[in-house]
Structure 1
Amino acid sequence: MQDATQTRASHGTLAGIRVLDLTAVLMGPFCTQILADHGAEVIKVEGPEGDTTRQLPVSPAPGLGAMFYNLNRGKRGLALDLKREEGRAALLRLAARADVFIHAMRADAMARLGLTYADLAAVNPRIIYANVYGFSRRGPYAKGPAYDDTIQAMSGMASLQGRMLGTPSYSATLVADKVSGLTALYAVLMALLHRARTGEGQEIEVGMFETMANFVLTDHINGALFDPPKGEPVYGRAASPNRRPYRTADGWIAMLVYTDKQWRAFYEAAGQPAWMRDPRYATLKDRAPHVSEVYGHLAETLLDRTTADWLARCTAAEIPAAPVNETADLLRDPHLEAVGFFIEQETAFGKVRFPGMPAWFSRTPGQITGPAPALGQDGRAVLAEAGFSEAEIDALAACGALILPADAT
């Protein structure tokens, strides 16, 4: 078990990279969480009210909701009122020594604040300036609000779910936010690589809508890839209403019988080798036009035996199959336990268990260095390290540009 009170030490691939993180909620904080896990010094810059996810239940203390606590682990907390000129000036001083500046505000809001790429590049030409928001500012939707649900709908994802479920539906996890956060992550890393090679900073932009359009159409572009189209932009197997966990005699099972070899093995495991002679099922090419019918037949067959029986038969036949877990099952999964996936830490509010890092490095492993900060928790230290005098820090706090915790004023 790690001690969350330990001194933050340099660790990971991104040790030495300094990030100013003005994002909130999920998309941006997920990107910067991973940066922090892998050694970057991430300074979370919040306004006087703080990130809205601070207020989401459940919470070990006021202002530390569980989602916030996880997404902002390992970051340092600074609270500035950027509508005050003093707060803006303080942020620009910090930007002069930062490597990455990432925000999730609309372009016109950043222009009003005087915090555009041009403003920051004027004090630091090497900075990587990342815009992450709903829609690219280059298109007609630029000023529209965007949330995970609306982006799932606009990107076609909800309607694809409807093909399976009978009515349009959202994914039960905030997939648009998280996929967009990962896209922002690789965009920042590529920009840092370019800077390492050339010395040049640059501005980058990641829109949730564009990200999810790319994500959905990677497989579902299908026949619409060609001109003239050779079919609708839907990958039939993925959107089949019979592609789902299947009922067994006593529960549920997830199974994907895909290749010809796997189907032959399944026919034997099911005791129905004659099916292979059916021209609709013989080969992958034959099955593709009848995919819903094929999966429907599979669903009927699986009702005959228990989940444990089918799992044993599939394991023996090397057919991909798995139990249908609840999220609570992940907390006691033997594989996740064996690889040390969950990281437990002692904090001021007791023991916490963070979901760990999925990527493993032999030479530069990441590390969860501590829980999320209280609002403004590290304000004095961050500014002092950036060269602000004690008198300057006191003046910022006195005029309301710097928000400090009650016990640090």
Structure 2
Amino acid sequence: MTGGPLEGVRVIDLTTVVVGPICTRTLGDQGAEVIKVEAPGGDILRYLAAGSRSPAMSGKFINFNRNKRSIVLDIKQAEGLAALKRLIAGADVFVSNVRPAALARAGLDHASLAPANPRLIHCGIVAFGTEGRYAGRPAYDPVIQSLSGVAGTFERATGEPRFVPMVMTDHITGLVAAQSIGFALFRREKTGQGEAIEVPMFETMASFVTSEHLGAATFDPPEGPSGDARLLSPDYRPLPTSDGFITIRPNDNRQAFAFFDAIGQPELKADPRFATPISRTEHAADYFTIQVEALARRSTAEWLEIFAAADVPAARYNSIDDLLDDPHLGDVGFWQADEHPTEGRIRRTRTPVTFRGGMREEVLPAPRLGAHTRAILAEAGYAPAEIEAMLQSGAAA
């Protein structure tokens, strides 16, 4: 392995689905060595998504599990659990999204692991913080979207609670976990000491939502209703043009006044409802109505040309499929074509973040289940006969 700010960091990954794998993929993309520990059946994400070329290798699994090696251990068996603990004893980071009580019963909590590896960064991604009454409850992304107010923002905007049609809370929490691990590694460089990190999905998303929408309820007593009226408007969306959709965001006075000139209504600059950022926020519904009515008069291409000349922030609407041909993404090499050793030609995204000091130069393809079991056990000091015995007993696979 060459390059990347986390080169030389070894991560033991006992996570499944999305929230944990996006965390560990982020670490792997930045050069860490990630060992994905899977149960005999494998990460359920291997099977959850439609459209695969072979069993247990869904497109979604491939996207979330590059730059990892896979070992299968049955940690319900003593030998499998002992092998996992041996791997952790030689690691820098251990990440799990297993419920804390189950970790403790297996001796995989921080208190149990730290004596053998005091430099270990132990990161537990949990549904709910262990100090609260919801601690220990199971949850997936939609449960957290519902409880944290994400779905409630749609009700405020449209009258109907909805989920964001992607596992957004998993993504955000997983990235917060990766960020927290980076912070802990930085402090370990100064102190030499490991760390125990807890990253709760519910609290993370409650913070995310309320930072945006607490608004006037920030003050005690509140100075007005909660929520950002602009973001909760039903017209906060791509708006129709004569032949498609466009998104514009004229925020400051220069942009707003340029927008009024562009739509041929310069008199709106003197309208007290729209003369300042505060007044435009207070009259967000009226401001959006003007945008909706104006944009319907011309084509998307015409408006993009007009707004580009006026330096008004604007962009065409991309569907998911449109992203595959977006010219800017082509310019920056966002889409990469790889030849997966078992799945054939695949399309993947490159790491969006760049480091001038060096990036990971190679990409490990998402592994087949247990593809590296023998090699990882050998690296951990197991003799060939011991490995064969574990494979025969089912402690490894």
Could you state the TM-score of these two structures normalised by the residue count of structure 1? 0.94
1:42-81 equivalent positions in 2, closer than 5 A: 42-55=34-47, 56-81=49-74
- The answer to whether the 8 Å contact 1:73/1:368 transfers is no
Corresponding position of 2:312: 319
- The answer to whether the 8 Å contact 2:72/2:370 transfers is yes
Corresponding position of 1:261: 254
- The answer to whether the 8 Å contact 1:37/1:367 transfers is no
Pair 1:274-2:277 in alignment: no
RMSD over aligned Cα, in angstroms? 1.2
* CA distance, structure 2, for counterparts of residue 199 and residue 402 of structure 1: 33
SS at match of 1:397: helix
SS at match of 1:329: helix
How far 1:368 moved relative to its partner? 4.9
1:210-268: CA deviation from partner (whole Å, max 9, x where unpaired): 11111112221211222222123211111112211111112111111211111211111
* CA distance, structure 2, for counterparts of residue 106 and residue 233 of structure 1: 33
Corresponding position of 1:117: 110
Corresponding position of 2:227: 234
Q: Which runs of 4+ in 1 moved over 6 A?
A: none
Corresponding position of 2:382: 388
- The answer to whether the 8 Å contact 2:2/2:360 transfers is no
1:271-302: CA deviation from partner (whole Å, max 9, x where unpaired): 11122222212221222211112111211121
Q: Percent identity?
A: 45
Corresponding position of 2:215: 222
Indicate which of 149, 165, 179 corresponds to 1:156.
149
- The answer to whether the 8 Å contact 2:98/2:126 transfers is yes
- The answer to whether the 8 Å contact 1:105/1:133 transfers is yes
Pair 1:39-2:31 in alignment: yes
Counterpart AA for 1:355: T
* CA distance, structure 2, for counterparts of residue 306 and residue 207 of structure 1: 45
How far 1:164 moved relative to its partner? 2.2
- The answer to whether the 8 Å contact 1:73/1:369 transfers is yes
Q: Point out where structure 2 has 5 or more consecutive residues left out of the alignment.
A: none
Corresponding position of 1:134: 127
1:207-218 equivalent positions in 2, closer than 5 A: 207-218=200-211
Corresponding position of 1:4: none
* CA distance, structure 1, for counterparts of residue 60 and residue 10 of structure 2: 23
Counterpart AA for 2:40: P
* CA distance, structure 1, for counterparts of residue 108 and residue 392 of structure 2: 23
Counterpart AA for 2:219: F
How far 1:363 moved relative to its partner? 1.8
Corresponding position of 2:20: 28
Counterpart AA for 1:11: G
Indicate which of 175, 178, 192 corresponds to 1:185.
178
Indicate which of 10, 31, 37 corresponds to 2:2.
10
* CA distance, structure 1, for counterparts of residue 314 and residue 284 of structure 2: 18
Counterpart AA for 1:385: E
1:128-173: CA deviation from partner (whole Å, max 9, x where unpaired): 1100021111111112121111111111111112222331111122
Pair 1:301-2:285 in alignment: no
Bigger Cα displacement from structure 2, 74-83 vs 229-238: 229-238
1:295-317: CA deviation from partner (whole Å, max 9, x where unpaired): 11211121111111111111111
Pair 1:400-2:397 in alignment: no
Counterpart AA for 1:296: T
Counterpart AA for 1:194: R
- The answer to whether the 8 Å contact 2:329/2:335 transfers is yes
* CA distance, structure 1, for counterparts of residue 238 and residue 284 of structure 2: 15
* CA distance, structure 2, for counterparts of residue 306 and residue 373 of structure 1: 46
* CA distance, structure 1, for counterparts of residue 68 and residue 114 of structure 2: 24
1:162-214: CA deviation from partner (whole Å, max 9, x where unpaired): 22233111112211000001000011111111111110001100011111111
Q: Point out where structure 1 has 5 or more consecutive residues left out of the alignment.
A: 1-8, 404-409
Counterpart AA for 1:25: V
1:44-95: CA deviation from partner (whole Å, max 9, x where unpaired): 0010110001112211211111111111112111010111111111111111
The alignment of Structure 1 onto Structure 2 pairs a total of residues equal to: 395
* CA distance, structure 1, for counterparts of residue 364 and residue 285 of structure 2: 48
SS at match of 2:114: helix
Could you state the TM-score of these two structures normalised by the residue count of structure 2? 0.97
- The answer to whether the 8 Å contact 1:24/1:51 transfers is yes
- The answer to whether the 8 Å contact 2:253/2:275 transfers is yes
* CA distance, structure 1, for counterparts of residue 253 and residue 177 of structure 2: 39
